[in-house]
Amino acid sequence: MNIRSTRLPDGRYFLSYDFLEPDWSFVTGSNPSIEDSPRVGQDRSSELRWNPVLGEWVVTAVHRQDRTFLPSVGQCPFCRSTEEGGEIPGDYDVAVLANRFPSLQPNPGTPSIEESSLYPVRPSQGVCEVVLYSADHQRTLAQLPVEQIYKLVLVWTSRYSQLSHLEFVKYVFIFENKGEAIGVTLHHPHGQIYAYPFCPPRISTELMQSKFHRDKTGSCLFCDILQHEMQDGRRIVFVNKSFVVFVPFYARWPYEVHITSRRHIQSIADLDAAEQRHLAAALKALLEAYDGLFGISFPYMMVMHQKPTDRESYDYYHFHIEFYPPMRSAEKLKYLAGSETGAGMFINDSLPESKAGELRAKVRPVILPSAWEN
């Protein structure tokens, strides 16, 4: 994999990855200096505000109001621009660029408001990147060849590693919002990466529970879950050599699925070469099964859960990816209403065992390139 780093006219970095050499996992080229990034938006217009009631941060980002909203194909900012001054400078295979409307940035402005002992305030420092899965505007991740998804796994790994080296970054969050149903404003196949200056609350809860389980039983919570699910079988969607794909026992969304590595590892950077390919194959098979359910391009949130990057030890944690599709049926959406939003109490009006069965019936074998020996 070769990384070509350039700057867009407004100073943001643009990374183009090519895979012309036979060994894709051998990385050449160089990453940009993120610390040099120009500030986006006005000074005194964004900050992190502490919520002392829940003990968590919320970010204000006024400049995101002007975001591009569902442009037509000819005006897609992620397609190669034919006009002078367009966002994408040239052809690409997989690309990463600094988000044009970041909620967190390497050189944030001064907060808009003064802090107090009751209300701590911090500059909204972090990194927000966009990952372009393909130059083809029309194709979704599910429709990309498995080789292309493998390239994406390599790019995710590279970004996780580079961002984790930044002093102010404590957590690298890789995710995708897909579909208008969950508020996506651009159709071009893309995901995002947020590098937070703290460990976000949901991950902190998982870390706390995993630590508690390890201290109590001596084993990894996720390894125990995998063992239980493999023995039980009712919630398994499919397995491959390196990953188990299943609807969790405690699913909050009807079609929630987790992809968990069979080996006890803590981040995407711990995957070996075979596991990287098996992850690409698992993603491809799951996304095709999702699309096959109702014959629609299935909307979802995809989030990667892995260890924080604050250099502490998290050997009790375990790498996995979670999918939350907002669909209840072909026509019905699940909304986050009073109980979910106000009490944090999810009501799933379906049984995980039957939803796993529906998905299992849609899984088709992924044809792997002949060069991938297993």
Q: Which residues bind Zn ion (CB under 5 A)?
A: 76, 78-79, 137, 188, 220, 222-223, 264, 305, 318
Please, what is the end-to-end C-alpha distance for the chain in angstroms?
21
Burial class for 4, CB neighbours closer than 10 Å (0-12, 13-18, 19+): middle
- Residue 45, both tokens: 């217009």
User: How far is Cα of residue 197 from the mean position of the Cα atoms in its chain?
Assistant: 17
Max distance between CA atoms of the chain, in angstroms, equals: 62
Query: Can you give the length of the chain in residues?
Result: 374
Q: Write down the least CB distance from residue 80 to Zn ion, Å.
A: 9
Q: Write down the least CB distance from residue 275 to Zn ion, Å.
A: 14
Contacts of 305 (CB under 8 A, 6+ apart): 203, 206, 319, 320, 321, 322
Beta strands 28-29 and 2-7, pairing class: parallel
The smaller minimum CB distance to Zn ion, of residues 13 and 222, is found at: 222
Q: Write down the least CB distance from residue 335 to Zn ion, Å.
A: 22
Q: Write down the least CB distance from residue 237 to Zn ion, Å.
A: 17
188: annotated active-site residue = no
E strands, the chain, in order? 2-7, 13-18, 28-29, 46-51, 56-61, 94-98, 121-122, 127-132, 171-178, 190-196, 236-239, 243-246, 257-261, 300-305, 320-324
3 state SS of 239: strand
Catalytic option among 63, 190, 213, 320:
190
The smaller minimum CB distance to Zn ion, of residues 151 and 305, is found at: 305
CA nearest to 308, candidates 210, 220, 231: 210
Q: Write down the least CB distance from residue 16 to Zn ion, Å.
A: 15
The smaller minimum CB distance to Zn ion, of residues 220 and 280, is found at: 220
Instruction: Report the distance separating Cα 278 and Cα 320, nearest Å.
Output: 13
- Cβ 51 vs Cβ 26: under 8 Å: no
Q: Write down the least CB distance from residue 211 to Zn ion, Å.
A: 12
The smaller minimum CB distance to Zn ion, of residues 178 and 305, is found at: 305
The smaller minimum CB distance to Zn ion, of residues 135 and 287, is found at: 135
Instruction: Report the distance separating Cα 6 and Cα 9, nearest Å.
Output: 10
The smaller minimum CB distance to Zn ion, of residues 24 and 78, is found at: 78
Q: Which residues are catalytic?
A: 190
